[in-house]
Amino acid sequence: MPPKPHLALLAALLVAFGVQHFSDSINPYYLDVLIGIGINVILAVSLNLVNGYTGQFSLGHAGFMSVGAYLSAAVSMYLAPRLFGEDGGTALQEGGLFLVALLAGGLSAALAGLLVGVPSLRLKGDYLALVTLGFGEIIRVTFQNVESLGGALGLNGIPAYTSIFWVLAFVALTVFVVTCLVHSTYGRGFLATHDDEIAAEAVGLNTTRYKIVAFVIGAFFAGIAGGLYGHFKLTITPTGFDFTKSIEIVVMVILGGMGNTVGVILAAILLTLLPEVLRPVAEYRMVLYSFLLIVLMLSRPQGLFNFKFGKARV
Amino acid sequence: MSELLQQLLNGLSLGAIYALIALGYTMVYGVLRFINFAHSDVFMVGAFIGYYMGKLVPEHTLWGGLAVLGAAMVGCALLGMTIERLAYRPLRGAPTLNVLITAIGVSLLLEYTGQVFFGAAPRNFPAVFPVRSFSLGGVIVSSNQLIVIAVSVVLMVVLQFIVYRTKIGTAMRAVSLNPKAAVLMGVNNDVVISFTFGLGSALAAAGGILYALNYPSIDPLMGVMPGLKAFVAAILGGIGNIPGAALGGLILGTVETFVAGSEWSTYKDAIAFAILIIILLFRPAGLLGKFTVEKV
């Protein structure tokens, strides 16, 4: 944790602004990859709060991402033509609307997280993983059946609001919130729940409450990431958020070393770049991807970027 | 009334397939305490072995069908034991999560390798068994349904015999109960675990062939949904419990068939998970499972 986290956040926002300023001179392909990386970093860091720091195994992150993606897309698609008419608004107006849409997406995902978390966090380990997986699939099937949100065809024509500034800004914000939270007095409760739930309960911590808080915050940022994703891809389908996506995020967290934010960020970058780098061997790239995953897991079971210095945790 | 019976029959034959897959999950969970995510892809490989074997034997013959079934079971048993040896054994003693991720890696590897070798486009599964249908008082019984139910019942009886009447079965139960004590009693855990994977994978292969007979369009991702549902079935019955897996599979198949025939049919993929969540909230150990309290 940097000594002055608020200054670090401010610096990161300024950098985001700077990058946005020069984004026209960056190769659009690199920019797209960078946005993809940013979205995955948000997902992985937020899931790390649940799976890493609090030690609860959630397999439903893509479900919360889809809630955020759909709700924020619905908000901006409903409001944009009514506020700005045919020509679109100024950059500032569109930015404001996007922020509202993202927050709506994040909050609705957080609400979904609360609804899922309260009943299921009484369960442990594999069972929790399965229930979250089940909820993720139920959310997906429900979106497939809601005709006003496009049904199985998905939502098309979402305004292209996501820019590199928004992505970098929310990456910075996610990392800031998660880091400050786990290093606060309150946040020690997450680590205690992770380390030994029975002992934590014995000293009077309400572990269920900690789990739910971690779950809801994780879901909130997953919703934000979903909103960014929707306004970046401009079209979203329910099948894009199935449990393969959840697994992809979990793999980032585990490869990064559970409960190690820096490692998780590195793993998210690596795993987003890997399929891009393997593009020349297009046909075999996913075979190689899964093969590397097994090899990495067998050779570094503690996580790729967990070097045991500082306060790294397994 | 006859419609109800018809749906019940369809549900039972689907449920029997889920039960076969669920048995593999439940046995592996019993000895190793982890979810073998690659199981659903072994199921897929079983169907593909059947597809290629099916071209070698004459269609519509009982012995041809049984030969295909046997070949797929042997092939998948070897595959399952290889996976265990190469991917899971090096992680013995590592945290469950790592094994889980490795299992996910193996699952993805099988799926993507399948897409490279078999192509992503669905293929038509040959009709290896004789096809006929009978009408019993308004209920149409197809020979495929009879084969599914007969094969499942035979395999489950054989499994029950192996687990409760043979030496290796006793060893399996011992490892499941307490791995350390089993080693002290002279059980070779590695052999038992390998055997368990082989047995479970053979059942998955049988499930794959039977599934492909009823839904004759096979592709490398065909295992994902049936695999997930079979795992739900295993939990529904109580994970680690063999009769429970069979019961869970039958319940799930029946409920799903009834939902698919109702006006809620588009929600049929969600119903399994809804059942899962309800059962875990009210009876976390499953229908036939024993509830254990964690001791410090």
The ipTM is 0.83
Question: Does the residue A236 lie in any domain?
Answer: yes
Strand, helix or coil for residue A234: coil
Write out pLDDT tens, residues A139-182: 888 898 888 888 888 888 888 898 899 999 999 999 999 999 99
Q: Is residue A51 a part of any domain in this protein?
A: yes
pLDDT value for A222: 96
Cα distance between residue A184 and residue A179, in whole Å: 9
Query: What is the predicted pLDDT for the residue at B83?
Result: 96
With helix as H, strand as E and coil as C, how does chain B read? CHHHHHHHHHHHHHHHHHHHHHHHHHHHHHHHCCCCCCHHHHHHHHHHHHHHHHCCCCCCCHHHHHHHHHHHHHHHHHHHHHHHHHHHHHHCCCCHHHHHHHHHHHHHHHHHHHHHHHCCCCEECCCCCCCCEEEECCEEEEHHHHHHHHHHHHHHHHHHHHHHHCHHHHHHHHHHHCHHHHHHCCCCHHHHHHHHHHHHHHHHHHHHHHHHHHCCEECCCCCHHHHHHHHHHHHHHCCCCHHHHHHHHHHHHHHHHHHHCCCCHHHHHHHHHHHHHHHHHHCCCCCCCCCCCCCC
The residue with tokens 């072995």 is: B49
pLDDT at A2: 67
Is the pLDDT at B295 greater than 70? The verdict is: no
The 10 Å Cβ neighbour count of residue A121 is 23
pLDDT attached to residue B292: 65
Number of Cα atoms under 13 Å in the Cβ half of residue A125: 12
Q: Are B256 and B229 in contact (CB under 8 A)?
A: yes
Burial class (CB in 10 A: 0-12, 13-18, 19+), B119: exposed
Region B174-178: what's the mean pLDDT?
90
**pLDDT score recorded for residue B75:** 97
B83 touches chain A (CB under 8 A): no
Instruction: Give the per-residue pLDDT at B171.
Output: 94
B96 in contact with A, Cβ within 8 Å: yes
pLDDT of residue A310 exceeding 80: no
Angle between helices A207-233 and A188-195 (to 10 degrees): 110
pLDDT digits (tens, 9 = 90+) for B269-291: 888 888 888 887 788 788 887 76
**The dihedral of CA A254, A260, A261, A263: what is its sign?**
negative
* pLDDT tens digits, one per residue of B5-32: 999 999 999 999 999 999 999 898 888 8
Give the distance, in angstroms, between the CA of residue B156 and the centroid of all CA atoms in the same chain: 11
- Chain A nearest-CA distance from B120, in A, is 11
Q: What is the mean pLDDT of residues B40-66?
A: 91
* Chain B contact for A146 (CB, 8 A cutoff): no
CA-based nearest residue to A59, from A143, A154, A125: A125
CB contact under 8 A, B228 and A137: yes
Selected residue with higher pLDDT from B202 and B37 = B202
Q: Are B49 and B79 in contact (CB under 8 A)?
A: no
Averaged pLDDT for residues A75-87: 84
Contact A130 B97 (CB under 8 A): no
Nearest CA in chain B to A137: B270
In a mutational test of the B interface, the residue from A287, A289, A291 whose CB has the highest number of chain B CBs within 10 Å is A287
A136 belongs to a structural domain: yes
* pLDDT at res. A307: 63
Q: Closest Cα partner for A137 from A116, A123, A158?
A: A116
Higher pLDDT, B107 or A258: B107
Task: State the pLDDT confidence band at A314, using cuts at 50, 70 and 90.
Answer: very low
pLDDT band at residue B100, thresholds of 50, 70 and 90?
confident
- Mean of all residue pLDDT scores within chain A: 87
Radius of gyration over every alpha carbon of chain A, rounded to an integer in angstroms: 19
Task: Give residue-wise pLDDT tens across range A192-245.
Answer: 988 888 899 999 999 889 999 999 999 999 999 999 999 999 999 998 888 788
d(CA A156, CA A70): 11
CB-based contact A58:A222 (threshold 8 Å): no
CA quadruple A7, A13, A15, A18: dihedral sign: negative
The model's pTM is: 0.84
Q: What percent of chain B has pLDDT over 70?
A: 98
Which residues are within 8 A (CB) of A45 and not within 5 positions of it... i.e. 6 or more apart? A171, A174, A175, A178, A221, A261, A264, A265, A268
Instruction: Pull the structure tokens for residue A25.
Output: 């001179």
The range of the structural domain enclosing residue A236 comes to 5-18+26-242
What span, in angstroms and rounded, lies between the C-alpha atoms of B175 and B190? 10
Contact predicate A43/A106, CB 8 Å = no
Cβ contacts of B96 on chain A, cutoff 8 Å: 125-126
∠ CA A48-A51-A55 to the nearest 5 degrees?
Answer: 125
Domain ranges of chain B: 15-224
pLDDT value at residue A309: 45
Residue A275 CB contacts under 8 Å (≥ 6 apart), including other chains: A285, A286, A289
Task: Look at residue B48 in the predicted model and tell me its pLDDT.
Answer: 96
The reported pLDDT for the residue numbered A311 is 47
Mean of the per-residue pLDDT values of chain B: 89
Confidence at residue A257, expressed as pLDDT on a 0 to 100 scale: 81
- Residue A272 CA to residue A36 CA, distance in Å, equals 7
Q: CA nearest A294: which of B107, B206, B176?
A: B107
A33-42, A58-67, A271-280: lowest mean pLDDT where? A271-280
- Structurally, how many domains does chain A consist of? 1
Q: What is the pLDDT of residues B102-119, one digit of tens each?
A: 898 899 999 999 999 998
Query: How far is residue B124 CA from its own chain's centroid?
Result: 21
Q: Give the closest of B101, B266, B274 to A251, CB-based.
A: B101
CA distance from start to end of chain A: 17
Q: Indicate whether A107 pLDDT > 80.
A: yes
**Closest residue of A to B233, CA-based?**
A130
pLDDT at site A1 = 63
Q: What is the pLDDT of residue B294?
A: 57
Asked, for residue A268, whether it belongs to a domain, the answer is no
Residue A3 confidence (pLDDT) above 80: no
